[in-house]
Amino acid sequence: METRRVQRIKIELKGKVEVPEETEKKVVVLKGMPFKTRDISLSGALLIVTHYLPKGIKVNLVFSEDKKAQLPGFTISTEIIYCKFAAIKTYKLGVRFRGLGEEKKKFIQNLLNKYR
């Protein structure tokens, strides 16, 4: 049985990868690449993306509004901790959240409580 330091929930949220200027200078990243979450926690998320992104780069995740789930759109700064090939045009991307303010921490905790 897998044990984790933080609570993690399986949830599919959608959005796009946004590249900060500091990252854009280091690596070519497909701007606006769509993603879906596989799961999320207070410390990070597992995403499904269509292209490889190298470990260590910083990207912003722009989550789409989901009226059905009553979730507003929001943006989180992240660092890629791994990217693994899963299938043709499919990669599993592990990201760590960076500099979450209290408001976003509270938002994610409420999300975790709502969907566990």
Instruction: Give tens-digit pLDDT for 62-103.
Output: 999 988 777 888 999 999 999 999 999 999 999 999 999 999
Q: Which two tokens stand for residue 16?
A: 């796009």
Q: How much is the pLDDT for 1?
A: 43
Tell me how far apart the alpha carbons of residues 59 and 69 are, in angstroms, rounded to a whole number. 25
CB 78 within 8 A of CB 98: yes
Q: Which residue has the tokens 């409420």?
A: 110
Q: How much is the pLDDT for 77?
A: 94
Is the domain 8-115 a CATH 2.40.10.220 member? yes
CB 51 within 8 A of CB 35: no
Tell me how far apart the alpha carbons of residues 77 and 29 are, in angstroms, rounded to a whole number. 15
